[in-house]
Structure 1
């Protein structure tokens, strides 16, 4: 597929223009006869787990999340039911406390054009929400859509569309003039439509920015970064981004090695003076640790100033927990590393909360460490076994991380299923752990928000103002 797309970008994809979707006539009005013949659509009481996938900027920092419900039955519903379904999505997002997340990140929310009249009443922060306007088969572009969009844009709302689904007919071009982002989906079946879109639309809409979705290979990422008009790609989403990390330099590796040595000393119950001596070799590490520990998230009654105080007020286990964050920030807070940190924090807190639900505090603490260290191999460019070796972790943690076995394996697999939007895996693992889908969704969102709060209050954060 990469070769075909790249050929089109180099001017060899003209023939693909004829295969552009002619469904442009499809956007907000459903044929009344089709709707009348459609079977009644029954809305679920809840949406269960709502997918929320991270989106990175050009520096590989996570700046936004994409919210969508992948339900083939729901997507085929008539316009009236689609509007009700969208409202149910908004209600679910509010129950998931999306408002807290929008203080730190932007959100791309999938909605139908049938719901345009309902967007203002959702009262989401206009600067933080971008509405991705979805297209359904059998719809037509209504005359009322453009005035609706004009009024909503005047109120500050922002929009995105996937042009490969709309094409380049006059009605679609009028729509593109009213959106802020175009979405290029590498997983879409109509990839031949990408050729002329990448060549024509940037020239016609020079202010437009692109979101590249479902980047799953190095070739697809290279296409976005090195093709003509590559500067238009402002945002990126996909499984490949989680492994597209930069090599750790020798200096950075040395800093991380010192953190690992301090953590080893803590596990070995070494004297406080020995631990403090390691920090004296790198005062920046001590500064970063105190910044994390004194974050308001911890709710300490007074600030900790020294390692002795940290050991006394927090205890060795909690200090070990916060040192694990330093492993991800000892390289100068690079974008790729911060994305790994955010992902690790989300896993760690999500798994910790699952342990709290079980009612076992020690188990919850060990689950936090399991999630936190699950990406340590990616960070250090080592196998996970090599990365974990100096830490001498409890057997239950290492068994889950290295063998995918034991008591902590299912919570880790559930966290990974949530990241990958694996609906079947989420349903199966939640049932295995006796947790309902609504609870999984709310706990996972709580973990996402908690990670933003930790990063923000610790002055380790991404700049989302440009989104």
Structure 2
């Protein structure tokens, strides 16, 4: 139903098939398993998947890394086994479904280069981030392996701060497609003099700026010498509401949409709702186009607002209008990113509700996730954005006070976004779902959001990544 709602909203005329269910993730690795000999490691920890945005703030890629593996010393054989398990886990969870609409940056060790040719992976959609281990040497044999893989279509990225002044480091960078600047790395700033020279020396390279957590860091990427080479960005600063400019003010019909939603929640008579639609011809056009789209299977054409409201029902009309809020500025990259995150949150929380078999609760959880970004969308506080809607108490409590029945599902959603493995484990125990189930549901929500955006023809272009 949710895909039908968005499909009708955006003028799609064909039913949308349901997303294929994600395969449940493997069990979380214990310390004993992490120390197991090659071939005996059975599972991974939480697989991080962070969104990467282009210069217009549209999400175009995801970065995958095994968070549990960071900072752990392993032999080359053990790391190769871990890398293989990461790739197997991504395949088993059917994560590569989303690469029709996104690209993937996948972390692997230098030790795994000989294993890559045997992998069945969508090379056109993947960039492999090379991770050095203690004792790795950038010798001629390793560079030759990279050359052979590149000729076969493999693409690579590296973080100069991880390689420092190793011999042949510059030769390695020459063979990369992306270089990574991590603003959270302790030694990044000491390397700024070198980083300023690299764009001039390797003009073909593009840069990924990771952990952009302030306006100053974003400005450094956008305004420093060679700033045109920065192509992808990641960080908490990109996901917060920015001060509204004249070009990003509330779209003309958003106030009308909010007013109609308020009237629906207040059980206003149909005549009052109809009067609001008549004040906005574009909104009325979209309503009638959706009601009469083939996805609703009507035998005759509906031409009146009152009949549309009767056929849709107030709940479905309210949900349709909530989706409409996030498409009012559909050509804006920042708004698309907010819409995508909202869809992921809504879908994930809805599926958490369905795990317990409560469909009404699941519907309310969907709205909780969708409205969790409303303040950022409207460039105002969350309380001010939600005020006209008169939402059910359990939704308002979760969004405004972080309490009540829906607070824990929302907290789990945010923990998954932030790759907080400890919080995920604790919240899963409270909500009585396994971490593996939660991880699978979240990844499935990510894929579902891409499919919904694709059906709505508001998908970001990833061809240049």
- The TM-score bracket by the shorter chain reads 0.7 to 0.9
Question: Per the alignment, in what secondary structure is the counterpart of residue 147 of structure 2?
Answer: helix
Aligned residues: 428
Deviates more, 1:449-458 or 1:42-51: 42-51
Separation in structure 1 between the aligned mates of residue 257 and residue 212 of structure 2, nearest angstrom? 33
Change in 2 beyond 3 A, CA 1:103/1:73: closer
- Secondary structure at the aligned position of 1:252 is classed as coil
Question: Which residue is equivalent to 1:338?
Answer: 336
Range that drifts further, 123-132 or 58-67: 123-132
The equivalent position to 2:440 in structure 1, one of 433, 439, 442, is 442
**Among 454, 458, 461, which residue is 2:459 paired with?**
461
After superposition, the Cα gap between the structure-2 partners of 1:113 and 1:295, relative to the gap in structure 1 and judged at 3 Å, is farther
The offset of 1:358, in angstroms, is 1.1
Q: 1:69, 1:293 → 2: CA distance?
A: 45
- The SS at the match of 2:57 is coil
What's the counterpart of residue 351 of structure 1? 349
Aligned 1:324-335 pairs, distance under 5 A? 324-335=322-333
1:408 Cα deviation from its structure 2 partner: 0.4
Q: 2:59 aligns with which of 57, 62, 68?
A: 62
Aligned to 2:205: 208
Equivalent residue number for residue 110 of structure 1: 107
Q: Greater CA deviation, 273-282 or 193-202?
A: 273-282
What's the CA shift string for 1:264-283, capped at 9, x where partnerless? 12223334454344334334
- What's the Cα RMSD here? 2.6
Deviations 1:367-416 (A, max 9, x none): 00001111111111222111111000000100111111111000000001
Q: Distance in 2 between matches of 1:144 and 1:75?
A: 26
Q: How high is the TM-score relative to the length of structure 1? A: 0.85
Q: Post-superposition shift, 1:293?
A: 8.1
Unaligned runs of 5+ in 2: 1-33
**Which of 146, 151, 154 is the aligned partner of 2:151?**
154
Instruction: Specify which of 196, 201, 222 is matched with residue 225 of structure 1.
Output: 222
1:55 aligned counterpart, secondary structure: strand
Structure 1 residues 313 and 47: alpha-carbon distance in aligned structure 2, compared to 1, 3 A threshold: farther
For 1:330 and 1:240, the matched residues in 2 are separated by 23
Q: Secondary structure at the match of 2:106?
A: strand
Output the CA distance in 1 between the equivalents of 2:111 and 2:302.
56
Matched, 1:188 2:185: yes
- Structure 2 contact 102–462 (Cα < 8 Å) conserved: yes
For 1:67-146, list aligned pairs within 5 A: 67-72=64-69, 75-146=72-143
Q: TM-score, normalised by structure 2?
A: 0.85
Paired residue for 1:177? Answer: 174
**Structure 2 residue 423 is matched with structure 1 residue 425:** yes
Offset at 1:122? 3.0
Q: Distance in 2 between matches of 1:311 and 1:130?
A: 48
| Consecutive unaligned residues in structure 1, runs of 5 or more | 1-37
